């Protein structure tokens, strides 16, 4: 086969079976069943009606860049200037742009695992050597990052990709951990790409998870990627952004021109409206908190199941004692129990033995899905 190939997604494998199977509760994608905000839909329609359908500024509409910069400045400890904002066609596009800007063939890219597989695959498409440092399970079924091991692994590396809050585990780095990671990167002269798409989905009184934008300087070798998909319930809109080091926005815009040539202006108008409607994120986080509690209630008394409610994101990462083939179990859950979850192996070898499910669904759907999942896990354990 005369094309470049990458490993296929096992999440997609589950989804295809679920789509073809009647009456399945669909929890395997990182997507809610809630509608996108009405203000975003109205803004898009108004922009189309007004004729905003032409080629955009590849850097992003100035009004959207200013809105994002103001939003981030209000959310984090350090101000973010508009001239550091680059709009992108989704969070994944933002990560791909960052990798294209930083990584050449043969260079080492370090990830922490388990992690969403698209990030490693995007690095492989650059010809990078991808290495993984596994998150360490803790006594309470949480996770932590071994900073000493990271320090050693980053010797000679080009970039470390951080994802906090993490997909699939919900692990969320503390501010002290972020300072330590930044210090290691500075010492080793390594770039940091920080995937922060779940930064607003945390379950305490903080407005956002700790961010590298709280601790890094504008001149640090740090790129922070974000998206409207998760916190604003806008998965299909394909709108995201990067915060890049001072003075590098225009060279990165040239890469955006080559990759996707900008984002439709009517979609960008929807993004402006979404950010300004501050109720959307608060309401969606409260919605996710209900699903998170329903998972906890359903799994708390199941023998052989390891689960702690996540600090961030909207996933339950459920360990099953003795499980060595999470893909087979996930397929069985679709076929025989009517619930689709992602196999842990989809997130790398460190994810094997677990299942990931998205709890950002309506309470009725979550309650039904949890009953089905409990039945399936009981049968698997038996």
Reported as a single tens digit per residue, the pLDDT across 132-142 is: 999 999 987 78
Residue 54 shares a structural domain with residue 188: yes
Whether residues 261 and 325 fall in one domain:
no
Do both 207 and 142 map to the same domain?
Answer: yes
Contacts 24+ apart (CB under 8 A), 218-221: 218/78, 218/81, 218/84, 218/245, 218/246, 219/245, 219/246, 220/182, 220/185, 220/186, 220/192, 220/245, 221/185, 221/189, 221/190, 221/191, 221/192, 221/245
CATH code for the domain of 302: 3.90.1150.10
Instruction: Tell me how long the chain is.
Output: 382
| 292 and 201 in a common domain | no
The answer as to whether 2 is a domain residue is: no
Residue 1 has pLDDT above 70, yes or no: no
Residue 382: band (very low, low, confident or very high) from pLDDT cuts 50, 70, 90:
confident
* 26/99 same-domain check: no
Looking at residue 139, its pLDDT comes to: 82
Residues 64 and 16 in one domain: no
Final residue belonging to a domain, choices 226, 250, 276: 276
**CATH code, domain carrying 271:** 3.40.640.10
Domain region containing 264? 38-276
Mean per-residue pLDDT, 361-378: 97
Query: What whole-number distance in Å separates Cα of residue 15 and Cα of residue 240?
Result: 24
**Number of structural domains, the chain?**
2
Instruction: Single out the residue in 255, 276, 297 at which a domain terminates.
Output: 276
**4 is a domain residue:** no
Buried (b) or exposed (e) across 328-366, using 16+ Cβ within 10 A? ebbbebbeebbbbbbbbbbbbebbbbbbbbbbbbeeebb
Within a domain: residue 5?
no
Strands 25-26 and 339-340: parallel
Residue 85 domain-assigned (yes or no): yes
Question: What distance in Å separates the CA atoms of residue 42 and residue 118, rounded to the nearest whole number?
Answer: 32
CA distance 135 to 149: 11
Residue range 76-91, pLDDT digits in tens: 999 999 999 999 999 9
| 86 and 221 together in one domain | yes
183: CB partners within 8 A, 6+ apart: none
Q: What is the DSSP letter of 167?
A: T
- Residue 169 CB burial class (10 angstroms; 0-12, 13-18, ≥19): buried
Q: What is the pLDDT of residue 5?
A: 82
Same domain, 295 and 256: no
Rounded Cα distance, 62 and 271, in Å: 12
209 belongs to a structural domain: yes
**Does any domain span residue 3?**
no
Mean pLDDT for the chain overall: 96
- The answer on 140 and 109 residing in a single domain is yes
Choose the final residue of a domain: 243, 276, 309. Answer: 276
- CB 50 within 8 Å of CB 266: no
- Would residue 332 count as lying in a domain? yes
Answer yes or no: do 343 and 368 share one domain.
yes
121 assigned to some structural domain = yes
- Mean pLDDT (whole number) for 117-123: 96
* Whether residue 321 is found in the same domain as residue 222: no
Residues 242 and 325 in one domain: no
Q: What is the pLDDT of residue 231?
A: 98
220-272 pLDDT, tens per residue?
Answer: 999 999 999 999 999 999 999 999 999 999 999 999 999 999 999 999 999 99
């Amino acid at each position: 086969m005369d094309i470049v190939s990458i490993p296929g997604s096992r999440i997609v494998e589950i989804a295809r079976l679920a789509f073809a199977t009647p009456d399945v509760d669909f929890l395997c994608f990182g997507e809610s069943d809630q509608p996108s905000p009405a203000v975003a839909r109205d803004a898009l329609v108004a922009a189309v009606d007004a004729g905003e359908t032409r080629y955009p500024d590849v850097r992003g509409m100035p009004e959207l860049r200013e809105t994002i910069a103001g939003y981030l400045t209000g959310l984090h400890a350090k101000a973010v200037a508009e001239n550091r904002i680059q709009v992108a066609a989704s969070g994944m596009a933002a990560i791909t742009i960052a990798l294209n800007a930083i990584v050449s063939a043969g260079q080492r890219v370090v990830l922490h695992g388990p992690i969403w597989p698209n990030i490693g695959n995007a690095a492989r498409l650059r010809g990078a050597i991808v290495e993984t440092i596994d998150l360490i399970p803790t006594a309470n079924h949480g996770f932590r990052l071994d900073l000493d091991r990271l320090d050693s692994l980053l010797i000679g590396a080009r970039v470390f990709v951080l994802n906090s809050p993490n997909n699939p585990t919900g692990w969320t780095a503390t501010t002290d951990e972020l300072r330590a990671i930044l210090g290691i990167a500075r010492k080793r002269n390594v770039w940091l790409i920080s995937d922060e798409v779940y930064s607003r989905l945390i379950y305490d009184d903080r407005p956002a998870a700790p961010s590298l934008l709280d601790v890094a300087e504008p001149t640090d070798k740090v790129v922070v990627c974000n998206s409207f998909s998760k916190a604003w319930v806008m998965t299909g809109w394909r709108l995201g952004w990067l915060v890049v080091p001072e003075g590098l926005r225009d060279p990165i815009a040239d890469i955006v021109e080559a990759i996707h040539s900008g984002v439709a202006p009517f979609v960008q108008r929807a993004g402006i409206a979404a950010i300004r409607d501050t109720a959307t994120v608060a309401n969606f986080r409260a919605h996710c908190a209900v699903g998170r509690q329903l998972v906890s209630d359903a799994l708390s008394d199941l023998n052989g199941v390891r689960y702690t409610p996540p600090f961030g994101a909207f996933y339950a990462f459920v360990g099953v004692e003795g499980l060595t083939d999470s893909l087979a179990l996930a397929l069985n859950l679709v076929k025989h129990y009517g619930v689709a979850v992602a196999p842990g192996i989809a997130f790398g070898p460190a994810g094997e033995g677990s299942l990931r499910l998205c709890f950002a669904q309506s309470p009725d759907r979550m309650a039904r899905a949890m009953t089905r999942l409990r039945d399936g896990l009981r049968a698997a354990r038996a």
